[in-house]
Structure 1
Amino acid sequence: MTLDILSALIAFCFVGVITPGPNNLMLMASGANYGFRRTVPHMLGIGIGMPVLVVLVGLGVMRIFEMWPLVEQVLMVLSVAYLLFLAWKIANAAPPVRTHESEVAGNPLTFLQAAAFQWVNPKAWFMALSAITLYAGGRDPIAILWVAAAYACVSVISTTSWTALGQQMRRLLGHPTRLRIFNWTMAALLVATLIPVLWPAQG
């Protein structure tokens, strides 16, 4: 892979991961509700889960969709249902109860949950399919690994930035009412990310 193509790949991946989407909205909500440190497993789950998805998509998952389109439709239904469930959980998150000085009771997403979430995240699928098509169209394993590595690198910037943003907002969300409004807003935005999936632009 030439330097020009690699630069274009990194830019493509960076724009994809830094823009608002299910992962970033959930990280911001987690940072606001649980703080940066407790959100680290969630961040690592995204940082590793996304490259794994890219590799498996490049090595054969796309062929499964081509052979059995019904599988893609089933996955889409599961994705929508799970995102709606997560939105409901965020919207109905109880006001934080501090166990001591700064710890807040509750259960942020674990590493495995965040990694597995990539498989039902419509934006993650779109980014993986697009990147493989554009930068590893021949399904060369080395090219696929380059794409996965690019996502792994840029995800560090994205996950850190969105979690830190959420953590900084904790000071403004100290009152239960403000936190509830924030959580409902995050839930609504999470549902809104489904609009391009359910009603794609025509033409």
Structure 2
Amino acid sequence: MNELLPLLTYCALMSGTPGPNNMMLVASGAHHGYRRTLPAILGINAGGAVQTFVTCLGLGVLFTRWPLLHAALKLAGTVYMLVLAWKLAGAGAAQDRPPERLRFAEAALFQAVNPKSWLKAVTLASVFMPPSLGLVQGALVVSGVGALIGFPCVSMWALFGSWIGRFLKSSGRRRVFNAIMAASLAVLALMLLR
């Protein structure tokens, strides 16, 4: 329990605080509702679990040895978030259509360029691997706990978006909401470059 409580707390904090995944889920929840956002939620958790598992098995060492690789992934993630922000900002401008919803595979693959997901995976691998278990078993425990804790945390963001969506009946309100979410995502992306 002494090892599990800090792991649970860290996973809850990383999954529950604002980041690229949660900003996208708020926007998706607002436009498409929780049920239609569920594939993205599951994709985020599955992608994060796989990312954590392979990082625990040794991928995180690559970032330590080759910082340029980490910098390249960080830049790719920032560019991708800026593209998503651009798309979100333009959503609704033409024929008042909502932005496309993020699919399972897209959400899972996004974790590969999401700097916050990498930070979480590397920290889990370097700080929270249980020394009493073997490498594979420890990686399974850490990645499994991350996914189990992550699901309700990111779900809250999508549910929050669904609740906000009730107030976005007019196209003007939707455009303002899209602009705010796009700006938030862009600011977050630029902050990650520091």
SS in 2 for 1:173: coil
Judge conservation of contact 1:13–1:154 (CA < 8 Å) in 2: yes
Asked if the contact 1:95/1:179 (under 8 Å) is kept, the reply is no
TM-score where L is the length of structure 1: 0.87
3-state SS, counterpart of residue 102 of structure 2: coil
> What does 1:48-67 correspond to in 2, within 5 Å?
48-67=46-65
Aligned pairs for 1:93-172 (under 5 A) are: 93-94=91-92, 107-136=100-129, 140-172=135-167
Gap regions ≥5 residues in structure 2: none
Does the 8 Å contact 2:87/2:99 carry over to 1? Answer: no
Cα deviation code 1:113-133 (max 9, x no counterpart): 000001111111111111221
Q: What is the percentage of aligned positions where both structures have the same residue?
A: 35
After TM superposition, the structure 1 = structure 2 runs for residues 9-20 of structure 1, keeping only pairs within 5 Å, are 9-20=7-18
Question: Retained in 2: the 8 A contact 1:96–1:105?
Answer: no
Aligned pairs, number: 192
| 2:2 counterpart SS class | helix
Report the Cα offset of residue 65 of structure 1: 2.2
Q: Distance in 2 between matches of 1:77 and 1:184?
A: 23
Deviations 1:144-187 (A, max 9, x none): 22210111111221122111111111111111111111111111
- The 1:95/1:43 distance shift into structure 2, 3 A limit, reads farther
Alignment partners' CA distance in 2, 1:31 and 1:137: 36
Give the letter aligned to residue 160 of structure 1: S
Q: Distance in 2 between matches of 1:154 and 1:137?
A: 17
Unaligned runs of 5+ in 1: 99-103
Q: TM-score, normalised by structure 2?
A: 0.90
* Cα RMSD for the two superposed structures: 2.1
